[in-house]
Structure 1
Amino acid sequence: MLVLRAVVEDYIRSQEPVGSAALSKERDLGVSSATIRNDMAALEDEGYLIQPHTSAGRVPTEKGYRYFVDRLATVVPLSEAQRRGINSFLSGSVSLKDALQRSARLLSEITGQVAIVASPSLSKATLRHVELVPVAMSTLLAVVITDTGRVAQHGLTVSAMPTADDINRLSSAVNEQCNGQSLSSASETVRALGGGTGFETVREAADALADAFASMALDERANELYMSGTSHLAHSRSLTDLAPLFDALEEQVVLMKLMSNLSEEPSATGVGVSIGSESHTPELLHASVVSSGYGRSTSPVANDSERNETSPDQDSTNEPIAFVGSIGPTHMDYAATMAAVRAVARYLTFFVSESGSGD
């Protein structure tokens, strides 16, 4: 397995078949060239390596990459310059959308691959504030702000417009009783509130608001995908592989489901990896996908030094509310890509936590 790791690392670096003589010369594996040659033959028999040509060295198979990735128990820390770059990019964000766009650009620059960042879906958000504004004779505009910083607007139709005092009273009650609730719970709370004593004049508005919350709670889709780095594909892949991969990037629903599932799988590194055919997506047969979830931090970190690279449990989340990921060739630098994806996910977790606290 040390020989396998050496082959994978050398092939990732050179993208040329790796021979036993080169390993014996460049690596201190503590065994003879003949032993390395026998081990490589055994690894080929077991499906970890393949020999593209009779006289050539060997290259890793999907099984070889999978073994390599699964043994990355710890993710290599990013360099100080990379950490400063992430901090600089995200610290200047003026909104969640801006932070997500910046994250996609930065991750693409770090990895040299395609970066994809999803905005949180409303179905996983909790209510932070709602404002009710009359906009017509029979229409109220509900401006809903969630803990992730997302702002959604819904028109509420009523047969008779309540007074300004009644509208303010309803808004105050909703914000007091629903703050921190999921949108589905908030829907039930508002409906019960409208049916209670003292709210008869705004019952219709309360029911309409409850319906709006329920509709938002059923929205399982991420609001938007932010993508960067497609130009990198032309420098890292053969032309025959480009067309299907671009097709895959167009199929955002497929990518969203794949990367979301990867980000929610339990992992010692906090990062999910799909290699080649593991994605069950023909267009990604020659590509690997690395993804990590970001969400609400149970104990937001206080400063950059704590936020850089510490234990795998750092910035733990209740559950991911969205994902950040990278797509590249199967011979990508997995250790570096996983480190970059995890670091950006942690910074987004911190950003969302800060936004949710009202800072």
Structure 2
Amino acid sequence: MVSERGLAVLRAIVQDYVSTREPVGSKSIVDKHRFGVSAATIRNDMALLEDEELIAAPHTSSGRVPTDKGYRVFVDQLTDVRPLTSAQRHAVEIFLGASVDIDDVLARTVRALAQLTHQVALIQYPSVSRARIQHLEFVALAPRRVLAVLIADTGVVEQRVVELAVDHDDAVLRTLRDAANDTLAGMPMADAATALPALAERFPDASRPLVTELLASVAGIIGSTRQERLIMAGTANLVRTEHDFTGSIYPIMEAIEEQVELLKLFGEMAAEQHGVVGNRDVSVSIGRENEPFGLAETSVLTTGYGTAGGAIARLGVLGPTRMDYSTNMAAVRAVARYLSRALGDQA
């Protein structure tokens, strides 16, 4: 069992090591922090922390550095998550406020988060398959070419050009649009996909081939959006912290580029909500907790974002375990809040 002073010593070691990247010794702690005890007492506290595997000596006769377990205890005890400065908040608001659509706002958000944290920033693209249909439109481009447009309640707009086997009919397009919106608007995507065949049967035989082709394109749009994906920025930040990793960073880069494992990790973090007391909206997965995903030397911080209807996806940052957790957690939380507000304004 770690004492209150022991936890304070652990916090000092984490903060100093994150700041300097140098192993932290008892004399340094006494000099920098006001514990009111001798260096010998601090050494005893450090010995107990080492027994608990919360800190370790990277070299003989060196200072101590936090272990993954030590970072976990530090994060779970963290209460002083520092908010963004007023200048940072204003910059984020202005930057995101200039967005023109959801693709633009997500691209701007991930860049802003990478700049704020100096880590790899990640945003999970909202899955249309988990959303509801807001509107369907069919736009004639040529006698045998129609643009099918699907708008979801998350703000996502998906479209597909349909090459028809027969000439389109403007009246049929209008009738299909109205019938589709009357039937499908507000319906979850999965339910809408199964409702499409019945919608086609409501049209006369003469227009059935055209209607079937167009509704097949809508089904294709819904099916294609079930593939999860991430938007990222700041991978150069990972290269700049290469010295924080014991081995090559290329496996980490490959895992990030592959995205599959990261998406699995995002899903687990959403379900388990690894977080800190008082800050449960930000999930933190540290070091060996990420080993199943090929990211054993990294920490990942995520939180949900969405509209008033609830979270629709997650955003976060990835970097070495030696990171400024307090500042990064504040940035992740604040940027998620601004993104949710931007999506609400666009809805």
Query: Does the residue aligned with 2:318 lie in a helix, a strand or coil?
Result: strand
Question: What amino acid is the match of 1:256?
Answer: L
Instruction: Give TM-score scaled by structure 1 length.
Output: 0.83
Match of 2:289 among 278, 288, 310: 278
> Residue in 2 aligned with 1:332?
323
Question: What amino acid is the match of 1:346?
Answer: R
Query: Does the residue aligned with 1:241 lie in a helix, a strand or coil?
Result: coil
Change (3 A) 1:355 1:265: farther
Q: Cα RMSD (Å) of the superposition?
A: 2.7
Match of 2:29 among 23, 29, 40: 23
Question: What amino acid is the match of 2:93?
Answer: N
Distance apart, 1:282 and its partner CA:
6.8
Distance apart, 1:281 and its partner CA:
4.6
CA distance in structure 1 between the partners assigned to 2:99 and 2:172 by the alignment: 37
Distance apart, 1:58 and its partner CA:
0.7
Distance apart, 1:256 and its partner CA:
2.6
> Residue in 1 aligned with 2:238?
233
- Verify the 8 A CA contact 2:140 2:146 in the aligned structure 1: yes
Gaps of 5+ in 1: 299-316
CA distance in structure 1 between the partners assigned to 2:123 and 2:293 by the alignment: 22
> Residue in 2 aligned with 1:68?
74
Match of 1:295 among 300, 306, 313: 306
> Residue in 2 aligned with 1:350?
341
Distance apart, 1:230 and its partner CA:
2.0
- The percentage of counterpart residues that share the same residue type is 41
CA distance in structure 2 between the partners assigned to 1:7 and 1:275 by the alignment: 17
Instruction: Give TM-score scaled by structure 2 length.
Output: 0.85
CA distance in structure 2 between the partners assigned to 1:237 and 1:252 by the alignment: 20
Change (3 A) 1:246 1:160: closer
Pairing 1:255–2:262 present: yes
What are the equivalent positions in structure 2 for 1:1-359 lying under 5 Å apart? 1-72=7-78, 75-135=81-141, 140-155=146-161, 163-196=169-202, 202-218=207-223, 219-223=225-229, 225-238=230-243, 240-266=247-273, 267=275, 268-281=279-292, 283-298=294-309, 317=310, 319=311, 321-356=312-347
Show CA shifts across 1:129-175 (max 9, x none): 21113456565431112223322223557765563223212212222
Query: Does the residue aligned with 1:56 lie in a helix, a strand or coil?
Result: coil
Distance apart, 1:62 and its partner CA:
0.3
Show CA shifts across 1:298-347 (max 9, x none): 4xxxxxxxxxxxxxxxxxx2x3x222221111110011111111211121
Question: What amino acid is the match of 1:167?
Answer: L
Query: Does the residue aligned with 1:284 lie in a helix, a strand or coil?
Result: coil
Question: What amino acid is the match of 1:354?
Answer: D
- Verify the 8 A CA contact 2:96 2:105 in the aligned structure 1: yes
| Number of aligned residues | 334
Change (3 A) 1:241 1:297: farther
- Verify the 8 A CA contact 1:275 1:330 in the aligned structure 2: yes
Change (3 A) 1:46 1:60: same
- Verify the 8 A CA contact 1:186 1:213 in the aligned structure 2: no
Distance apart, 1:205 and its partner CA:
4.8
CA distance in structure 2 between the partners assigned to 1:202 and 1:28 by the alignment: 82
Query: Does the residue aligned with 2:138 lie in a helix, a strand or coil?
Result: strand
Show CA shifts across 1:58-79 (max 9, x none): 1100000011112235633111
Distance apart, 1:87 and its partner CA:
0.5
Query: Does the residue aligned with 2:248 lie in a helix, a strand or coil?
Result: helix
Query: Does the residue aligned with 1:322 lie in a helix, a strand or coil?
Result: strand
- Verify the 8 A CA contact 1:183 1:213 in the aligned structure 2: no
- Verify the 8 A CA contact 1:131 1:144 in the aligned structure 2: yes
- Verify the 8 A CA contact 1:131 1:171 in the aligned structure 2: yes
